[in-house]
Homo-oligomer: A and B are copies of this chain.
Amino acid sequence: MQIGELARTTATKVETIRFYEKIGLLPEPGRTSGNYRDYGAAHLARLSFIRRARDLGFTLDQVRELLTLSDDSSRSCSAVDTVARAHLAQIDQKIADLRALRRELDELIGQCSQGAISDCRIIEALGPSAQNGH
């Protein structure tokens, strides 16, 4: 399987696959006589794993850790659980931060009366004299 097909199968860009190889996340595949990368089922499985974990918001470092853990099949699952739980906590934090931010921005927008800039509450609230209530 050459890189383009692997890319299509996993919905990954060709450049991203080469990037994963360069940073050691995806093992170097064999090469054809014409120096084309030649991927097999193991590569497909590993790349799928990477993409799925990335879709779930794991960082590349976390993915690397998960891959290492999953390669050592004798190890307990609890380490994997720990990584996943840490990630979940990060997500919760991000959601909370975004909600606080959303509330503030929404308030600002609610005050906009579509007048001239000089009366704009948004601009005003962003200014240095905005000591009110945050």
Contact B78 A114, beta carbon cutoff 8 Å: yes
- Chain B residues lying within 8 Å of A130, measured Cβ to Cβ, are 52
**A binding-site residues for B, Cβ under 8 Å:** 44-45, 48-49, 52-53, 56-57, 66, 69-70, 72-78, 80-81, 84-85, 87-88, 91-92, 94-95, 98-99, 101-102, 104-106, 108-109, 112-120, 122-123, 125-128, 130
Contact indicator A53/B98 (Cβ below 8 Å): no
Integer count of this chain's copies in the complex: 2
Q: Please classify the interface of chain A as helix (H, G, I), strand (E, B), loop, or mixed, using the class held by over half of its residues.
A: helix
Does the CB pair A49–B126 fall under 8 Å?
yes
Nearest B residue to A9 via CB reads: B128
Q: With A101-B56, A101-B57, A127-B45 in contact, do A116 and B80 touch (Cβ < 8 Å)?
A: no
Instruction: State whether B88 touches A109 (Cβ < 8 A).
Output: yes
**In this complex, what residue of B is CB-closest to A115?**
B77
In the complex, A53 Cα to B80 Cα: how many Å? 38
Whether A128 contacts B48 in the complex (CB less than 8 A), given A74-B116, A95-B99, A120-B80, comes out as yes
| Residue contact A102 to B109, C-beta cutoff 8 Å | no
Residues of B within 8 A of A49 (CB): 126-128
